[in-house]
Amino acid sequence: MEAFVSRKRRRSLSNTSVDQHIRTAFDEDDTDIKLATLASLYPGLDQVMLLEALIAANGSVEEASQNLTAYANEQRLTGQKVVGYQSSLHSAFGLEKKTSRVTTRKGQTLHLYSPEDIAAHTPCSIIHNFLPAKEANSLLLELLAEAPSYEKQAFKMFDNVVYSPHTASFYVESLEEKRKHQTEYLYQGGYLNDVRELLPQMRAVSGRVEEAVNKEVEKRIKFHYPGGQKLRYQSSERWKPNCAFVNCYDGGKESVGYHSDQLTYVGPRAIIGSISLGVAREFRVRKVVAKDDNPEHDKVKDNSRADAEGQVAIHLPHNSLLVMHAEMQEEWKHSIAPAVAIDPHPIAGNKRINITYRWYREPFHPSDSATLCAEEEGK
């Protein structure tokens, strides 16, 4: 894992109430309890579906449960398999698939599922069912075999170095790169011990990730950035992943706190391609709140100010590709929230595997920075 810096109805649903249910995000703990209740009633349904049903029922567990029973019966009568995918959920619970007008407020969590909403309201874009199902499963199996040897990673939270409650490892292209990463690249002031060579499936998927990420970046620039221009300091070169951090979250308690990724070797305005496999989990993002004018307030080492604008939860199902765009690391923080209830995955059990493909760029190579420093000192 790269350095963790600091580290509501079946009733007819009108457009206004869609907006409203999204704006009136539920109280988070309350939602978790309601979801856990629904999960115990419908163990075969996925978390996203349960949450969607809860939203469509304006938070009423009873109504959500009635709708889920009706939906499951309907599926059974028409011979369809009950699925956990939002395209079907939107119609199942009468939620229109539209980009919603949303705002987040202090202490609130806004849950987003559709690629349209995610692209409109966060610095990310998502592709569901990214790989052919068989390929996703092989990749998952390849990494599940490695995961037991992963270790907890140290990250910096405020001024303390703490260990994330999940395990991770780092993969590079060759043995030569491995050696360099263990002797030249600094992470939190030390060298990484556990550096591995990219595995066959990870390499095979890397090209697809490269293609998809570059397409998403093009769309991002064209439709979301001022004047349809790339951001200042964003690389104008094609994004080319050459290494990856793999994270393993074994059960709902394993999570990773809010952080931004270390930019030392990827440079400013970095882009990351992140594949999720196994158990679906919640990826949360929140804007980095501008520093207070009163320096005394910035000395308070808690999360109260950081949450001033609320947070957005993006659901990451198995076989999804999340692109963290160029504005993400400097302007937002991200985390994987602990989960009260998870849906076990048929292959992964309680585990979620995440691969973050990254592009370590030549100009930010440690020996180049060393040369630059030496040149500066020699002046």
Ligand X SMILES: O=C(O)CCC(=O)C(=O)O
Q: Which positions touch ligand X (CB under 6 A)?
A: 1-2, 245, 247, 256, 261, 274, 283, 334, 336, 354, 356
How many residues sit in the footprint of Fe ion (CB under 5 A)? Answer: 1
Q: Exposure pattern of 195-212 as b/e (b: 16+ CB <10 Å)?
A: bbebbebbeebbebbbeb
Q: Closest distance between Fe ion and the C-beta of residue 259, in Å? A: 6
CB of 59 to ligand X, least distance (A): 27
Would you state the structure tokens that stand for residue 11, as one six-digit string? 């009733």
Least separation in angstroms between CB 346 and ligand X: 20
* Of residues 31 and 169, the one with the C-beta less far from ligand X: 169
Stretch of residues binding Fe ion (CB under 5 A), selected from 156-164, 195-203, 254-262, 288-296: 254-262
CB of 261 to ligand X, least distance (A): 5
Measured from the CB atom, the residue of 57 and 266 that comes closer to Fe ion is 266
Q: Which positions ≥6 away from 140 have C-beta within 8 Å?
A: 277, 278, 318, 347, 348, 353
Written as six digits, the tokens of 142 are: 């390849």
Question: Which residue lies nearer to ligand X by CB, 2 or 250?
Answer: 2
Contact 82, 44 (CB under 8 A): yes
- Per partner kind, with CB cut-offs from 5 to 8 A, the member of Fe ion, ligand X, none near residue 100 is none
Nearest approach, Cβ of 63 to ligand X (angstroms)? 32
Q: Given the complex with ligand X, which of 5 and 72 has the nearer CB atom?
A: 5
Please say which residue, 52 or 261, places its beta carbon nearer to Fe ion. Answer: 261
Contact 157, 257 (CB under 8 A): yes
Is residue 343 near Fe ion by the rule CB under 5 A? no
Contact 202, 245 (CB under 8 A): no
Residue 352, strand partner residues: 249, 278
Alpha carbon distance 218, 224 (integer Å): 10
**Which residue, 85 or 364, has its beta carbon nearer to Fe ion?**
364
Q: Which is nearer to ligand X, 114 or 354 (CB)?
A: 354
Binding Fe ion (rule: CB under 5 A), the pick from 52, 63, 254, 261 is 261
Q: CA 142 to CA 170: how far, in whole Å?
A: 15
- Candidates 71-79, 150-158, 253-261, 296-304: pick the segment binding Fe ion (CB under 5 A): 253-261
Q: Which residue is nearest to Fe ion (CB)?
A: 261
CA distance 122 to 279: 22
Query: Considering beta carbons, is residue 109 or 164 the nearer one to Fe ion?
Result: 164
Residue 246 contacts residue 150 (beta carbons within 8 Å): yes
The nearer residue to ligand X, 239 or 283, going by C-beta atoms, is 283
Query: Which pairing describes strands 311-316 and 109-112: parallel, antiparallel, or unpaired?
Result: parallel
Q: Which pair of tokens denotes residue 303? A: 């999360």
* From the list Fe ion, ligand X, none, partner contacted by residue 283 (C-beta under 5 to 8 A by kind): ligand X
Partner that binds at residue 354, options Fe ion, ligand X, none, CB closer than 5 to 8 Å by kind = ligand X
* Distance of alpha carbon 55 from alpha carbon 49, whole angstroms: 10
Question: How many Å apart are CA 9 and CA 158, to the nearest integer?
Answer: 43
Does residue 46 touch Fe ion according to CB under 5 A? Answer: no
For the segment 139-158, give every residue that binds Fe ion (CB under 5 A): none
Q: Which does 39 bind (CB under 5 to 8 A by kind): Fe ion, ligand X, none?
A: none
Tokens matching residue 213: 């990420």
Least distance between ligand X and beta carbon 256 (Å):
6
Tell me which of Fe ion, ligand X, none is bound by residue 52, counting a contact when its beta carbon lies within the kind-specific cut-off of 5 to 8 angstroms: none
CA distance 126 to 376: 43
Question: In this structure, what are the phi and psi dihedrals at residue 168, rounded to the nearest 5 degrees?
Answer: -155, 165
What is the contact surface with Fe ion in residues (CB under 5 A)? 261
